[in-house]
Amino acid sequence: FNYNEKYRPLYHFTPQYGWMNDPNGMVYLDGVFHLFYQYNPYGARWGNMHWGHTVSKDLVNWEYKPFVLAPDKLGAIFSGSAVIDHDNTAGFGKGAMVAIFTSAGDRQTQSIAYSLDGGKTFTKYEGNPVLIDANIIDFRDPKVFWHAPSKQWVMSLATTQTITFYGSKNLKEWTRLSEFGEGLGGHGGVWECPDLFPLTYEGKTKWVLFVSINPGGPNGGSATQYFIGNFDGKTFTPDTMNYPLWLDYGRDNYAGVTWSNVPATDGRRLFIGWMSNWDYANEIPTENFRSAMTVARVLRLVHNGEHLVVASEPVKELESLRREAVLLGDKTRTNTSNAITFENFLPNNQGAYELTFTVTPNETDSFSFALENTKGETIKYLFDSANKTLSVDRSKSSVAFNANFAETLIKAPMVAKKSYTVRLLVDKSSTELFVNNGELVQTNAVFPTEVYNTLRFNTSKGTLTLKNVTVYKLK
């Protein structure tokens, strides 16, 4: 098959051949970041779910590995997590890598498998499944971590439209701890792929709970909401906030969770998401593969001027891809002059680049910037201070392939600020927008028939000042 097919991203992870959805089992071990993923090795549509496998030393360059888990008599292998069992609590061996996943057969149950060769091969535990509930149909996506204060493994599990927490001493026997989520947050669809983890804010530990939901995202289809609160080893207690909050308001960041066992010397909370949306994932205009992951991101708790948010930004290792910085400069537009246009801003544009700039509008003005190509295709970003909204219009961005894709405005609430720092990662079939160091994020897939090579800024009135407009070609 043709590895270089048209919409194959240049710097995002994609399966060589076949279908991919959720990232699974992300775990760090001995200098290597492991990424497993929902994988169909036999076709480029969802089905026959396996765990695919890839590894990286820098979260940027990924090496393909053979898949590690295939369907068995308990069912297909759905999403889950992996931990390193440093104290041999399960008895598989000291430092074993243990995968905890959903067996999806006639019913959904939780199973485990272990690897004693650093994630190359896994052996399924003969006592599977390790967790059953006869009454819950949507019962899946176990995410496990070691909770030191209560000396137990804690599993977050999606249970229809709540998250149920379970505790275990040995990864094999699980007891129910508590249930969270009724009447709180988004409930427009089934809850999936939870992740509970600590983040520090002003020296204090807060607990963040990610819950992916499908459908019912802020702009339709699937998206990831989160809650901020506390966890005492038994119960998650959310802070009073205006839920739902969304990690990424774009249409294409789903089922993302974080790496386990990242060393304290690194200290980052590292994330990756599936860069697609169940609304159209099976129909995107690729042939030999379907879907890419987002770039790896770092999560932080920050205050956006109105409330706490989970900010996400590309890992710093991504900067190693930067080549040929083109400084487009500083510009000011006033209401008597035309739009600010940078034509052919990247010579030899292969469709993979990064744009950064700081923009200062007149206080109450809205402004926009757009990427365009010579075919009239465009993706537009509209910063509307009056309505406190950042909207993305990709309705004319792409080749036509699915009515659900060419929707109208993809909206995110925006805290109006004096200036905005903007970073936009563009690849052959994606755009990842990070505003003010990831306080506001929009990830949206695009399938233009030609690379975008014009950048155009506009403001309805007043002035618009641009500083340090820079484009980096990405390797």
Q: Does 293 interact with ligand FRU (rule: CB under 6 A)?
A: no
Q: Does 140 interact with ligand FRU (rule: CB under 6 A)?
A: yes
Site string for ligand FRU, 46-65 (x = CB under 6 A): ---x----------------
Residue of 90, 186, 101, 177 lying closest to 139 (CA atoms):
101
Out of 74, 157, 192, 257, name the contact with ligand FRU by CB under 6 A: 192
Number of H helices, E strands in the chain: 0, 34
Residue 322's CB is within 10 A of a number of other CB atoms, namely 14
Of 192 and 432, the one with the shorter C-beta distance to ligand FRU is 192
CA triplet 221, 224, 226: central angle to 5 degrees? 140
Work out how close the CB of 76 gets to ligand FRU at its nearest, in angstroms, rounded to a whole number.
8
Out of 8, 12, 14, 22, name the contact with ligand FRU by CB under 6 A: 22
State the Cα–Cα distance between residues 227 and 166, nearest whole angstrom.
Answer: 18
241-270 positions binding ligand FRU, by CB under 6 A: 255
Is 22 annotated in the active site? yes
Work out how close the CB of 110 gets to ligand FRU at its nearest, in angstroms, rounded to a whole number.
11
Of 77 and 98, the one with the shorter C-beta distance to ligand FRU is 77
Q: In the numeric block, which tokens belong to residue 374? A: 């010579």
- Burial readout 247-285 (b: 16 or more C-beta within 10 A, e: otherwise): bbbbbbbbbbbbbbbbeeeeebbbbbbbbbbbbbbbebb
Of 38 and 442, the one with the shorter C-beta distance to ligand FRU is 38
Of 186 and 438, the one with the shorter C-beta distance to ligand FRU is 186
440-459 positions binding ligand FRU, by CB under 6 A: none
Out of 85, 141, 248, 384, name the contact with ligand FRU by CB under 6 A: 141
96-115 positions binding ligand FRU, by CB under 6 A: 102
Task: Compute the half-sphere exposure of residue 252: CA atoms within 13 Å on the CB side of its CA.
Answer: 24
SS3 content of the chain, % helix, strand, coil (to 5): 5, 50, 45
**Segment (H or E) for 146:** strand 139-147
Of 51 and 357, the one with the shorter C-beta distance to ligand FRU is 51
State the Cα–Cα distance between residues 293 and 404, nearest whole angstrom.
Answer: 20
Residue of 411, 335, 398 lying closest to 367 (CA atoms):
335
Out of 14, 38, 89, 277, name the contact with ligand FRU by CB under 6 A: 38
Catalytic, out of 22, 384, 393, 427: 22
Task: Compute the half-sphere exposure of residue 7: CA atoms within 13 Å on the CB side of its CA.
Answer: 19
Work out how close the CB of 99 gets to ligand FRU at its nearest, in angstroms, rounded to a whole number.
13
Q: Binders of ligand FRU: how many residues, by CB under 6 A?
A: 12
Q: Does 79 interact with ligand FRU (rule: CB under 6 A)?
A: yes
Of 121 and 282, the one with the shorter C-beta distance to ligand FRU is 282
Round to the nearest angstrom and report the end-to-end CA distance of the chain.
23
Work out how close the CB of 220 gets to ligand FRU at its nearest, in angstroms, rounded to a whole number.
15
Q: In the numeric block, which tokens belong to residue 162? A: 């709540």
Work out how close the CB of 311 gets to ligand FRU at its nearest, in angstroms, rounded to a whole number.
24
Q: Does 384 interact with ligand FRU (rule: CB under 6 A)?
A: no
User: Among positive and negative, which fits the CA dihedral 401, 407, 408, 409?
Assistant: negative
Q: Does 78 interact with ligand FRU (rule: CB under 6 A)?
A: yes
**Residues of the shown chain interacting with ligand FRU in the complex, contacts defined by CB under 6 A:** 21-22, 38, 49, 78-79, 102, 140-141, 192-193, 255
Residues noted as catalytic: 22
